[in-house]
Every structure is written in structure tokens, then in C-alpha cells.
A and B are shown apart, each in its own frame.
Chain A
Amino acid sequence: MSDERKKILDMLQRGKITVEEAEKLLAALGVPEEASPEAQKPGCRYLRVVVEPGPQSEDRDRVNIRVPMKLIRAGLKWAAFVPKEAQSSINQALREKGIEMDFNQITREDIEELVSQLNDLTVEVEGKEKVRIYCE
């Protein structure tokens, strides 16, 4: 617990400030609430992509892919090799799909944040085939 947080809680205990004031001060400090057990779950090691036939599907096709997160991180570093000419083409292709995003503006930190957020990713699509994308 930080000193500032202790001071605020001490002031609250002594009655110098109200609960609302303490809340405001803690929020101003940017002190996060105690992490819930769910938020403390360990980071995922693999990204899984599973495609299975749906209940009404006649196909027997199955796909089971497990990609280590470390490999994804290593692979994303290759994005730095994309030439500038190709980057403008990517931007144009994204714009045609209705996605307003500048590929040139994506930094390594952005990619790192994106990968770290994959921990909570779960995609389930059920139709003719059942597709599941999740971390484990």
C-alpha cells in the first residue's frame, strides 16, 4: 500500500474527511481497487483456434490450432519490416473495408498492449460450423 493511500485512509479513520472525499482523493491518485480473483488470473500461454462441425453440419472438417503467445509476440516484430509503400496500401485496403485506421501510427507499445489484452479474448461463433478463439 502506498504512503499516500495510507494517509488518506488514516484521515478517513480520524474523521478529518468524509468517505466521498476519500474516494475522490483515491481516484485522483489513480489507486486501483483491489484486484478481483478473476482479474488476477495468470496470463495465457497459448492462443487457441478451434473449428468444429456444428450440430446441423454434414461436414466433418475440424481445425485445431494452438499458437504460443511468445511466437505471436516474436512474429509481430516482423511487422516493422513492412515497407512504407505497402503500409499505404494496407491503409487503403482498410479504408475500403470501412476501417479508418492509420497503419503507420501503430507503435510497438500498441501491439504489446493489444497482445496483453488477448488474455481476456473469447470469441464463439456458432453456425454451420462452431468456431472458438480463446486463450489458455
Chain B
Amino acid sequence: MLMRLKLSRDPNKYGLILPVFLVWILLFALMIILLPFVLLGALFTWASGQGKWLLMTYPLLISTLFHLSGLHIEVENEEQNILIAFL
């Protein structure tokens, strides 16, 4: 997945293309590092009912990230044009 970022009104400029999947690699590495702490947190808060939601964070986060593809946000005024698109 790629993220297209454009902050100019110039139609000739395509904008900046960012490889989001590289950020994901870092994010997944961080998630794996944090996993033991999340599991411990879930274990301690299980009785209060919050533990279940803590465990749900990982699949929900992954689901949200994977469904970003197709998101297109474009705001344009007289001075500038902001475009954020996930390709």
C-alpha cells in the first residue's frame, strides 16, 4: 500500500508517494515487542472486563490498517490543495 500526499494546487505535481507498508513493518515490530505487556495488562484487568478489549486492540488495529486502501481525502481552497490518498 502506498500513501499519496499532495500539498500543492499545481496540477502538474503528482505529490509525494510514501510506502506505507514500510511503516507497517516498524509498527508490527513494535506490536510484537509490546505483546507481552499487553498480555500481562489483559490478565490483570480481565476481572474488570477491560482485559478482553485490550486483547481486541491488536486485531482491530490490523483490520483498520488493512482497510485504509481506497481512502481519499481532498480539501481544496483558493490557496492550496491538500490530498491524502491510500492507493
Contact = CB atoms under 8 A, between A and B. Distances in A.
B60 interface: yes
A104 B53 CA distance: 16
Given A74-B67, A78-B60, A65 B76 contact: no
Contacts of B57: 81
Question: By DSSP majority rule, is chain A's interface helix, strand, loop, or mixed?
Answer: mixed
A73 B70 CA distance: 14
Interface of A: 45-46, 59-68, 70-71, 73-75, 77-78, 80-81
Contact of B53 (A62, A70, A81): A81
Given A60-B78, A61-B77, A74-B63, A67 B56 contact: no
22 contacts: A60-B76, A60-B78, A61-B75, A61-B76, A61-B77, A61-B78, A62-B74, A62-B75, A62-B77, A64-B73, A66-B71, A66-B73, A68-B68, A68-B69, A70-B67, A71-B64, A71-B70, A75-B64, A78-B60, A80-B56, A81-B53, A81-B56
Interface of B: 53, 56-57, 60, 63-64, 67-78
Contacts of A75: 64
